[in-house]
Amino acid sequence: MADQPLTLDLTKYIEKRHFGERPHIRGRRIPVALIADARHKQALDITELMEAYTLTEAEVLAALLYYAENQAEIDRYERAYADASTEDWVAHGDDSFLLR
């Protein structure tokens, strides 16, 4: 039997229901990219992330793992999100224009 990479189902903690395709903590509007950015750029540890965003340890770890597994896709989306103009948002009413 060939070795299959281990994949975890993180849907208990991560969803894309809000913000179109921008993954965020389930039931919250805290983007995965925000957690990853705070971890890497501000060097916050798990406890500091939990306190800063009022998240559980499992939510923080799930966000960091999700980011690690989907970094290229999330970074691409975040760049498009940051570069979007107000006119784009008004014209489309959502983030569907980012996915082109």
| Beta carbons of 61 and 31 less than 8 angstroms apart | no
Percent with pLDDT over 70 in the chain: 80
Mean pLDDT confidence for 40-60: 96
Domains of the chain (ranges plus CATH)?
14-88 (1.10.10)
The answer on pLDDT for 90 being more than 80 is no
- d(CA 75, CA 31) in angstroms, rounded, equals 12
pLDDT band at 17 (very low <50, low <70, confident <90, very high): confident
The answer on pLDDT for 55 being more than 80 is yes
